[in-house]
A and B are shown apart, each in its own frame.
Chain A
């Protein structure tokens, strides 16, 4: 009995907490991805790179002496106009080419991802960086050490998710987004400025990815391919949760990272990725629409 308790206290619970912090981070990235897919029907292959840009901005501006708390607001504010401009300048151009929109936008953002990743390499080089933790130290609960910053990350992340959910489900802009996602033409004829809503939603998604970059930079190091590694997990979350579903992204994000965290206690951690991707394939085969419905459709 004692053994079981101390196993939970010293191995299982800390592992789950670390998984939870990662889960909240994944949810933040997946949230932008899923909103962009739900509304624009765009699989944003460059999403991981936006996350990386956010992290690099945090490092660079942090070195310039700007406070972390300011960055939490500043970086998303820098990222949003970039997202807006990219949607208007690039993505909207291929919307009406007559080809399959999924495929063309996927290809376009794939090219964009290549360019952004190389730009990061040119500006910042290959070196791995890691900013100082803004909230150092840890508190002790039931003999477990809980790093303060991870606790903050979990709380703050959940707050952001709640904020996005309120924005989508309880504001005028949100109802325009959902209307445009449900039926673009009908929304347009009712006076919703659809292409404006598209661009703003894309900007919101990009800002969320940038915010996730700022939040995660102190925990996971900052390196040029960080976006590529991270976005695969975010994609899996979006697929399992249901493309375009906010609830789905949260549930699947927390669930999959717990699977990853707990499974790596029993088998070598190198196998946790194949397991997570295996779950994704299984969900795609059995329930391709994911666990929850689409944005604007329920």
Chain B
């Protein structure tokens, strides 16, 4: 017998599975028409969906709004780029990103996790501003130009390898990678640790009386979100061959938040849907008018006012009802 939260998580899994089916159909169509452009765009959309996933683990589960989550996305991208320029190996890059993010996430978490509500949002924002301006000014990191000339990689799997230059293969690889991050987040947030986070969001003062540490749980959630953002960011230089300080700017953090709100806060699957939908909307509206931000801004305002739980907040409860009916007999 599943409780309500596990049931919701199962509903999210089904929705993600649906997303994978859509992605595979898209990949098939793109492959049969010999497309490159849309495959690269879709890969980028998936990478940024990873950032949105990271925002949702914080906003959806602890209720903390990370206004500067792009900090970790950009950090992952820069570390990955620096490693790849020296030693072009995927696994080394991912390993270094993982370990360094553990340290940086812990540092940022100790600073930010003491604050609550709006102060957390502002600290997160401030940290991202400081770091992005510093990176913007350091000539060794390419300053405003960023780092260029990241070589094309062959990701070794022993039996076979995937080239980052092959659009279809790298798209499928990125899809699997982001799914892995989703599975990791979904698993951890469905454990007792995840329940503590949800309890924190509901009533922070009562959690210590139940014997749990507020600071510890929040710090762990912060590091988890930092890892998801950084690991997604690590794929960026492999796709585009460069990184720039813009990756840490507020616009990137803001976009991830828009994606999460659009898709549905606290559903994880919604972050992926919302972020991909946003990229889609951007490129479709972008072909009609260069002022596509006005459309996105208006859609965003409408969602915040009329659909505060996002698209999946609308779809998922219905799916949950179906699931619980199937379970009863």
Binding site for B on A (CB under 8 A): 43, 90, 93-94, 97, 99-100, 102-104, 106-108, 110-115, 117-119, 121-122, 232, 235-236, 239, 243, 268, 270-271, 273-274, 277-278, 280-281, 284-285, 288
Q: Give the interface residue-count category, chain B.
A: 35 or more
- Chain A residue numbers with a CB within 8 Å of B127 are 281
Are B119 and A288 within 8 A (Cβ)?
A: yes
- Can you report 14 residue pairs joining A to B where beta carbons are below 8 Å apart? A93-B305, A102-B65, A102-B118, A107-B257, A111-B300, A112-B297, A121-B291, A235-B122, A239-B126, A271-B137, A274-B137, A280-B126, A284-B123, A285-B123
- The answer, yes or no, to whether B129 is at the interface (CB within 8 Å) is yes
User: Nearest chain B CB to A194's CB is how many angstroms away?
Assistant: 21
A-B pair count, CB < 8 Å, reads 105
**B323 close to A (CB within 8 Å):** no
Q: Does B254 contact A (CB under 8 A)?
A: yes
A281 contacts across to B, CB distance below 8 A: 111, 123, 126-127, 130
- Interfacial chain B residues near A106, Cβ < 8 Å: 65, 118, 121
Question: Are B123 and A104 within 8 A (Cβ)?
Answer: no
State which of A97, A103, A115 has its C-beta within 8 Å of the C-beta of B298.
A115
Other than the given A114-B293, A114-B300, A274-B133, 5 more pairs (CB < 8 A) read: A103-B63, A112-B301, A115-B294, A271-B137, A285-B123
Shortest beta-carbon distance, A162 to chain B, in Å?
28
Chain B interface, DSSP helix/strand/loop, else mixed: helix
Q: Is the CB of A97 within 8 A of B123?
A: no
Q: Out of A108, A271, A278, which one reaches B305, CB within 8 Å?
A: A108
Bound complex: CA A117 to CA B293 (Å)? 9
CB-defined contacts of B301 to chain A, threshold 8 Å: 90, 108, 111-112, 115
Q: Which residues of B contact A114 (CB under 8 A)?
A: 293-294, 296-297, 300
- Chain A residues within an 8 Å CB radius of B257: 107, 110
B185 interfacial contact with A, CB 8 Å: no
Q: Give min CB distance, A249 to chain B, whole Å.
A: 15
- Whether B297 and A104, one on each chain, are in contact in the complex, defined by CB atoms closer than 8 angstroms, is no
Q: Does B115 contact A (CB under 8 A)?
A: yes
Query: Shortest beta-carbon distance, B167 to chain A, in Å?
Result: 31
Q: Which residues in A have their C-beta under 8 angstroms from that of B300?
A: 107, 110-111, 114
Complex alpha-carbon distance, A106 and B137, angstroms: 29
User: Which residues from B are CB-within-8-Å of A100?
Assistant: 63, 117
In the complex, A117→B250 CA distance in Å? 15
A158 vs B254: C-alpha distance when bound (angstroms) = 34
Q: Which residue of B lies closest to A272 (CB)?
A: B133
> Which A residues lie within 8 Å of B186 (CB)?
none
Please name the residue on chain A nearest to B59 by beta carbon: A103
Name the one of B59, B125, B130 contacting A274, with C-beta atoms under 8 angstroms: B130
User: Considering the complex of A and B, which 5 residue pairs feature the smallest CB-CB distances, nearest first?
Assistant: A114-B297, A118-B294, A115-B297, A111-B300, A111-B301
Contacts of A108 in B (CB 8 A): 301, 304-305
Which residues of chain B come closer than 8 Å to A113, judged between CB atoms? Answer: 297
Tell yes or no: B36 within 8 A of A by CB: no
Quick check: A274 and B126 within 8 Å, CB to CB?
no
**What's the nearest-Cβ distance from chain B to residue A94, in Å?**
6
Question: How many whole Å from B30's CB to the nearest CB in chain A?
Answer: 30
B318 at the interface (CB under 8 A from A): no
Q: Which of B63, B133, B304 has most chain A Cβ within 10 Å? A: B304
State in angstroms the CA–CA spacing of A81 and B300 once bound together: 24
* Contact present for A118 and B133 (CB under 8 Å): no
Q: Would you call B114 an interface residue if the criterion is a C-beta within 8 Å of the partner chain's C-beta atoms?
A: yes
Chain A residues positioned under 8 Å from B137 (CB to CB): 268, 270-271, 274
Cα(A100)–Cα(B111), bound, Å: 22
Shortest CB-to-CB span from A218 to chain B, Å, is 28
Contact bitstring B124-164, A, C-beta under 8 A = 1, else 0:
01110110011011000000000000000000000000000
CA distance A38 to B254 in the complex (A): 24
A288–B116 Cα gap in the complex (Å)?
A: 9
The verdict on B88 contacting chain A, using a C-beta distance below 8 Å, is no
Q: Which residues of A contact B298 (CB under 8 A)?
A: 111, 115
The residue on A at minimum CB distance from B123 is: A284
Whether the pair B293, A277 counts as a contact (CB closer than 8 A) is no
* CB nearest to B143 among chain A residues: A270
Report Cα–Cα, A115/B119, bound state, in Å: 26
Q: Is B226 an interface residue (CB 8 A)?
A: no
